[in-house]
Amino acid sequence: MKKKTLVPLIIFLLGICLVGFIVYKTDTHEKNERHITAQLNATTYGERIKNEIASGIEITDALKQILISENGEINQFDTIAENLMSASIESVQLAPDGVVTDIYPAEGNEAGKIDLIHDKDRGEISGYARDNHTVITQGPFELKQGDYGIAVRNPVYLTDTNKQEYFWGFTIVILRVPDIFSDSIYALSNFGYEYRISKTASPWSDTYKVIYQSDGSLTQPVSYDFKIGAENWRFEIPPQSGWRNNTLIAVVTGFFLAVILLLTVLTRVWLVSKENKNRFQILAHTDSLTDIYNRYGFDEAAEKIIAQNPKTHFVAALFDIDDFKFINDVYGHAYGDRALKSLADNMKAFFPPDVLLGRNGGDEFCILLPDCTLEKADAKLNQFTRLPKTFSYKGTEHHFSISLGYAEYPAFASNHSQLMRCADAALYEIKLHGKNGCMAYRKGLQSGVRKQLGFALKDVSEHLPGAFIIYRADKEDDELFYANQEFLHMTGYKDMGELFRLTNKSFHNLIREDEQKQIEASIWEQIDSGNENDYIHFHLRKADGSYLSVLDHGRIVESQQYGKVFYVLFMDWKDMHIHYGDKFSR
C-alpha cells in the first residue's frame, strides 16, 4: 500500500516541479518578448514623433530660406504663413533681432510680441540658440487658447556687405501639444501601451521635463532617446497590463496539469481540422489506435513505392506480439491496446521516416525498408527485436516480446504480395522455433496458412473442468495473477477484482489464519526437496469470510514474464467424499 501511495505522490510532486519550471521559463520568455516588442514600438513611434516635430522645424527652415534669399525681407508674410499652417501648428512667427514682430494668425496672439533675448523666461535659452547656431525647443507652456504649446526657434544668420555673418533673428513655430503627437499616441493607446514624452529642460541640462504623458502609471518602461537641435528627447512606453502575461501563465499551468486529456482533445482537433477531402482518405489508410498505416494503407503505399522503383532492393518484415492473447485475457483488452500502441511507438522511434510502418490487424505489424538488402537489414531488425518492449499496468511496467520474419525483394519475390508471403513464412518458422526471435526467409520455407500456435489462457480457463489459480512462487511476496470462473464460482467472489481486493492479491490470505504457516511450510518443503507440490488439504477463504475445505494440487513452472509461478488446481473436499466415499478415504 505504501508503494501505491508513495509512487503517485512522487510523480505528482515531480509533475508540480516540472510545471513550475515550465511556467517560470514561459513567464521569462514572455517578458522578454514583450520587452522586445515594446522596444520596437518605442523606436518606431519615437522616430515618428521626432519626424512630427521635425515637420515644424521644416516650417522655420522654409521661412529661413526665404529670408536668406530676400536679404532679410519677407513680403506677404501672412500669405506664406497661411500656406505653411497645419492642424498641429498654433502660430508662425518672425523675430528680427530676437524681437517678435510678425505673428500669423495675429488675432489672439498679440501677447506673443516680446523681446526673446531679454525676456526673463526665454532670454537664456534664446541666447544659447543665437550663440551656438542651433535650433532650440522650449516648453510646454500653457496657450491662451487652451492646451499647451512648444516653441521651435530657428536662428537666422545673414551676410553683410563686408561678407561678415550677423544674427538676423529667429523664425518661430508654436506647436500644439498633444496635437503634434496625436497619431502616434493614438496608435500606441490602441496597442495597449502607456506612454511619456520628455525633453531636457535646456540644452545644458541633464534634467528631463515631461512634455506629455498618458493617465496610467509607467512601470519599468522601455525608452527611445533622440535629439532635436541641441536638446535630448526621451520617449518611454510600458504595456498597460504590465510585463507579465497572467492569462498565458494560467493557460500554461492548466494545460500541463491536464496534459493527457488535452493531448487526446488536440489529437481529435488535429484530425477534425484536416480538409474534408483528405480526412476520409487518412482515416481509410491509418490505424486509429497506433496512428500508423493500416493493412490497406500499407499495402497501397508499399505497392506504389515498389512499382516506382522496380530495380531497388526492399526488405519487408512481419512480426507480432508473443502470447498476445495472454495479455488481453489477464490484463484486459484496454491494456492489450496499450501494448500495441507502445510497440507502434517503438517502431516510429526506432526506424527512420522513410521506412513504411503498418499494422496488419490484431497484434501483427509490418515494415518495408527501402533501398535495403537482407545483409543490411539483419543487424537492424535483430536489434529492434531485442529492444525492450513494455506496457504499463497500474503503475508497473510489464515486458513482452515479439517474433519477426523478413524477406528481400527482388531476391525472393517479384511483387509486394509475394514478398509479404515470404516474410510470413519466416515469421511462422520463428514461431515454431520458440518465438521471441528474428529470422530471414530462405528457400524451402512454407508460407501456407499460419495457424494459431498453442492455447490461449482464456480458452483453457473457460473449458478446463476444475477451479484453478496462478500466483507468483515467492516465499516472502507471493502475488495472485489469475483465477478462472470455476474458482470464482466455488469461492463466491464476483470477479477477479473482488478477489484481488479482499485478499490483497495474496495466496497467503486465502488460507485460514491458523493454517497459514503450516500449509506454506508444507508447500515449500516439498518444493525445496525437489518434489512437485503434492495434494494438500486446508481451508480456503471464501468471499463471505467463511471457509471451504479443499484439496489442492500445484505445480511450479518458469514463466518468461514472472519467473517462478504456481499453477494450483482445487477440489472441494466435501464433494469428493460424497462422490467417492470409501474409495477416496483409501
- If asked whether residues 375 and 315 sit together in one domain, one would say yes
Cα distance between residue 499 and residue 509, in whole Å: 10
Task: Spell out a b/e string for 178-188, using b for 16 or more CB atoms within 10 Å of the CB, else e.
Answer: bbbbeebbeeb
Q: Are residues 221 and 319 in the same domain?
A: no
101/150 same-domain check: yes
81-95, 159-173, 267-281 — which is least confidently predicted? 267-281
Mind listing the pLDDT tens digit for each residue in 421-431? Answer: 999 988 888 87
Give a yes or no: residue 378 inside a domain.
Answer: yes
| 479-490 mean pLDDT | 87
What pLDDT sits at residue 270? 43
Residue 569 three-state SS: strand
Q: How many domains does the chain have?
A: 3
Q: Is residue 228 part of a domain?
A: yes
Last residue of a domain, one of 217, 238, 273: 273
Q: 224 pairs with which residues across the strands? A: 235
| pLDDT of residue 536 exceeding 70 | yes
Is 262 within a domain? yes
Mean confidence (pLDDT) of the chain: 85
pLDDT of res. 273: 54
Residue 489 has pLDDT above 60, yes or no: yes
Residue 509 and residue 459 in contact, taking contact as beta carbons nearer than 8 Å: no
**Are 250 and 293 contained in the same domain?**
no
Q: Provide the domain limits for residue 297.
A: 286-440
Q: How high is the pLDDT of residue 455?
A: 43
CATH number where 360 lies: 3.30.70.270
Cis bond before residue 105 (omega within 30° of 0): yes
Residue 469 lies in a domain: yes
Mean pLDDT of 11-35: 87
What is the C-alpha to C-alpha distance for residues 410 and 376, in angstroms, rounded to an integer?
Answer: 15
Contact in structure between 482 and 470 (CB atoms under 8 Å): yes
Pairing of strands 480-483, 396-400: unpaired
Higher pLDDT, 470 or 277: 470
Residue 12 lies in a domain: no
Assess whether 333 and 431 both reside in one domain. yes
CA distance 407 to 411: 8
Whether residue 553 contacts residue 569, with contact meaning beta carbons closer than 8 Å, is answered with yes
Note whether residue 114 is domain-resident. yes
Given a cut of 80, is residue 553 above it in pLDDT?
yes
Q: Are residues 94 and 206 in the same domain?
A: yes
Q: Are residues 390 and 498 in the same domain?
A: no
pLDDT given at position 531: 61
Is the domain of 253 the same as that of 188? Answer: yes
Mean pLDDT on 268-286: 59
Closest Cα partner for 363 from 381, 392, 347, 341? 341
User: What pLDDT, on a 0 to 100 scale, did the predictor assign at position 234?
Assistant: 93
**CATH at residue 232:** 3.30.450.20
- Residues 85, 213, single domain; the answer is yes
Helices and strands (H and E) in the chain: how many: 18, 22
pLDDT in tens, 299-309: 999 999 999 99
Supply φ then ψ for residue 547, to 5 degrees: -125, 145
Tell me the whole-structure pTM to 2 decimals.
0.43
Q: Predicted confidence band at 31 (pLDDT cuts at 50, 70, 90)? A: confident
Q: What is the pLDDT of residues 220-261, one digit of tens each?
A: 999 999 998 888 999 999 998 888 888 888 888 899 888 765
